Structure 1
């Protein structure tokens, strides 16, 4: 197969993508990347003002090498925990942009505490966004995808879904649940051509990650590991950039991954030693 053919299979021209948690961090990188690959992207988040800034024509920020057409990012404020709002937003996106071909679940929150000190609100909020939000958005699009004979759903979870982490019980449990939910949907809808996969990032340079850094040595402990918290370091010796995660998501959304479903791709520099 020629390089040109492979490049063509990575393109998303004419496809409609809905990305949650798109106002910053990994979600923003995913929205911009899918648009640069030609998709029309419905970027959703609670941060309406930031979404508006994001929703500039991507072409104005530079075209990909080779001059391929870029799509645009469109702002759709939405709360993934609100089922009615999710259904209404999906209906609006399909009315204004077209049928959703790609769903990327990125919206997430992190509440840290020893397991016995987590509050009921910590637990409920974490699962409401990280797990129930994935359920709401997936349910809203997968039936129509199946009727049209195909689609791609990617849930951005965490490598904490596959390895215990101290002080992260709610987050890890919610991400593990969202991964298994995504795989189950993938099994149920494989016969209709809908592919469902998860991307599990490790430490990534985002506002969520930086909020965990309480002293100047924190980034070094992430790289080298921390025996006190039973945490290995990162064998590749670097903290991920959001673009590293976005590129993995884009691959799974594209025809290059047309025979991949029900997988969880760990993008963590080897941190979980998988």
Structure 2
């Protein structure tokens, strides 16, 4: 997910960009309202500090909203209800006071994007079919029995195939752990790894779930395409030799030998 970070304070921008990258997002920082208006169409969501050096942040928000439906989370340093109301009325989808914590911001981003981009109810890819309504999974037409947590984990990954999910976020969303306890649990427990391993076995291929070392997991491309082996009954040939033609190490027709024993 591409995130536009509009923040004039360099230190805050660096902290936010670093934190978002660790969570699997692709942040792009800009520092002025003019840069924000030029860059927002190429991003999935805008994190907008309303205190900008070149123009009113509320005006930036209004321009983004007039141009389309790109989700916007606004930030205010006033910590007052009046400021948050102004941000929401200018077109922001959500408004937060500074300072704020990264786990809460990440949760608000996810909640906002769930509303902005409906999660698919039916996912089909290379023989894998996930029906969220019936909570059924089939591979090449054969139904795969799964526990509730296995299904929830697979469906979450498959619903966002381009995204890398940190281990702590998977624990938070699938096992409903709080952000802090999820981080501790993800480091100390093998529960997530066990479920991933079981899913790979049931789906018949490790490539359905890809391990991103040191970060987490993402949905994969599925089983590799295999080239069909050469049938054993077809004769081999040497370069320039027609199939079945006599050659070195080959039986010749009429030689009175059993062709089954040729080498």
TM-score above 0.5, yes or no? no
Q: Which is strand-richer, 1 or 2? A: 2
Q: State the TM-score, normalized to the length of structure 2.
A: 0.24
Higher relative contact order (CA 8 A, sep 6+): 1
The structure with the larger Rg is 2
* TM norm structure 1: 0.23
